[in-house]
Chain A
């Protein structure tokens, strides 16, 4: 695949989703970036903002297998992965057969993921990281591309189970779905309450997405740009060299190495979209908030002060110089 083809496909996909989803241009672009970078997305927002519709539209535009799992407190891991069921053949012999769960799709919507118990949440771990599921000792590979979009409600915390750090860390991006602007709200009403609902056409296939993922990894990164990524991630930690001032005060644990990977992969995708075959500092800055905000764990003071992880990441970016060894 050529970079220009990559860009055209991306833009067509975005335009197709925008037929249904009003506004949220940046959000759509970030979701697609995560998809092309081969990562998963955690969407955070109050109900009714179109999160589910976004995922559904994406699946339609890509013509991929789509499944939705509504997470509830009584949901069990087997409900997600699948289970062995006793079957009977024509001869009357009984045998176990593995019945695949909804995880065996290409686009999985984990709706209100924080309503399920940590045990159930952990059922997604292997699938998200290795794109495989092990059930009853059998290792089952998931079909590529595999993309998980999870949603959670930041307000209604009663009876919820916050995602463990290990689980959160596996999401490439955490995106905040904000309330639409006034004009967009009017457009949403027009588009959804009329006689005809907009139809979504298939833009590209899963194979193309895989080719895009491969191409994105070919984008070159200068040595000092990689060094900058490492320093930014290091700056989010409360201890050590180059720590940012806010991280020192409000952070218990900083971003993990997965954060650095996420930052770089997403920046590569953004570089291709900007018609470049190399990553720039601008790309990194653009994707740093969604890639790092959920990996910064606040300490008690940070929680009590209501510190925003976005501010901490911004502060780390501000206090980390891009050029360190060059003096003018």
Chain B
């Protein structure tokens, strides 16, 4: 083996790099075509089966993967220079000088007496070719097809989602999505009601968003992936808002450990409500001047108890106000005490509104999650929880069911027993005997009768007719000949010395035979 001349090596490296990128491009085209075709198929499949991934996402992921793969192909180093040598020879019209030199240098072909001259010749040719050695950019095959498939896939991923074929799981899921839309509309109404009664500002702001989502779900073309995405987006939004509210509540109750919120606060009848009622009562008592003197001790004791026992249950500011009210009342400043008490009540009412908001968001999140689960499950059996709540509709009893159950002496609603072979309900038993008596038969014997003919009378005469025969197809039809016989015949004909002017005649004859077959 000898060394490849430097000029040849430089030329080959340049060509090899171009080839690698060309191949990368071809890979990209092929990969893009496959990804687009897969996305197209995915979009069409979505009209039959509910799918969680949108076709546009499949298309984008496929395209990204194909392009990454192609990029990797283009960047990878080229080791075998033989293909580059062949292409360089062909494209730069080097008359196979470079590839022969490379083969000689690498020992792929045995060295000859002229090997040195081949190498010198290749080096000189490469030197001349190097300055303008630019390969024409090759347009990889299938580029147009790739563009077409990508366009179709993009169109399909925009237009097809939401369409579903009748009597398919996809259609059932679409129905389910609409149903969930209607249900969420009810949830939105509940939220509005709650916002009015509880004066919950966040609930008031959330209700239109839930209603908007509900209406979107009831639109004609809404597929599962889009519905789930919309619900998930709103869920995330509500989760963030709820976290903020929780943070505020925690800070109001205990600034040192804001995350710890007592569970009792979230119960519908909370300690907070009781406290507010109690404080209002105390405030009313303070307003009555004549009772103040007589019941001061009792009032002060209640205030002290409230401010002390409300640690972790009442906002710190409210407790401070309660303490202030107690001190002022004790000092005889009834007006000041009442004012502080009123401020404490306002603090508590503020917290109550925040808690109502938090509860409303929590409820909405739960409903959204439920809808999300139902849509994701599609047309499958509903959960035990739904069955318990009577949300699943039982199949209406068939005609005759009631009568059948009454006959059997069972309560309506009990599962059917393996039963009689009558009525219109599907029986579970087997027919052991024929139903009813046998129908009457004709009491008669079969008789065989025939009509007798009459023998002909007269003379029998035979005449021989001479004349042309009637044209009719041959009795032995032409059949396919065994391929072995055909081959032998061909070989014999090829060997036979058929005069040149008669060959055409013979050929026509055999072609006519072949047509008759």
Q: Which A residues are closer than 8 A to B by beta carbons? A: 3, 157, 215, 218-225, 252, 274, 276-282, 298-301, 303-305, 322-323, 325-328
Contact = CB atoms under 8 A, between A and B. Distances in A.
Nearest to B139: A328
Contacts of B493: 300
A3 B115 CA distance: 12
Contacts of B121: 276-278
Contact of B117 (A3, A157, A281, A300): A3
Interface string B93-124: 00111011111100011001111011001000
B242 to A, nearest CB: 59
Q: Which of B99, B500, B506 has the most CB of A within 10 A?
A: B99
Contacts of B500: 157
Interface stretch (B18-26, B189-197, B404-412, B423-431): B18-26
Contacts of A282: 95
B90 interface: yes
Contacts of A281: 96
A304 B96 contact: no
Contact of A220 (B23, B95, B115, B498): B115
Given A326-B19, A327-B26, A223 B108 contact: yes
Contact of B100 (A3, A278, A327, A328): A278
Contacts of A280: 89, 95-97
A225 B114 contact: no
B117 A323 contact: no
B78 interface: no
A3 B114 contact: yes
B109 A221 contact: yes
B128 interface: no
Contacts of B504: 304
B19 A225 contact: no
A304 B507 contact: yes
Interface string B469-503: 00000000000000000000011011000101001
Given A277-B118, A325-B83, A328-B19, A221 B494 contact: no
A273 B501 CA distance: 44
Given A276-B95, A279-B96, A328 B87 contact: yes
B111 to A, nearest CB: 8
A300 to B, nearest CB: 4
16 contacts: A3-B117, A220-B100, A222-B109, A223-B103, A224-B82, A225-B100, A277-B121, A278-B97, A278-B100, A280-B89, A298-B494, A300-B490, A303-B494, A304-B507, A326-B86, A328-B26
Contact of B112 (A219, A223, A300): A219
Interface string B5-38: 0000000000000010011001000000000000
A303 B87 contact: no
A221 B104 CA distance: 9
B507 A301 contact: yes
Given A225-B96, A280-B95, A323-B90, A299 B494 contact: yes
Given A220-B114, A276-B97, A326-B83, A300 B109 contact: no
Given A220-B118, A221-B109, A300 B19 contact: no
B170 to A, nearest CB: 41
B76 interface: no
A276 B132 CA distance: 22
A129 to B, nearest CB: 24
B138 interface: yes
Given A279-B100, A328-B19, 16 more contacts: A220-B104, A220-B115, A223-B108, A224-B86, A274-B95, A276-B97, A277-B118, A278-B96, A280-B95, A299-B494, A303-B498, A304-B503, A304-B504, A304-B506, A327-B22, A328-B135
Contacts of B118: 220, 277-278
B109 A220 contact: yes
A301 B493 CA distance: 9
B249 to A, nearest CB: 68
B272 to A, nearest CB: 77
Contacts of B99: 222, 224-225
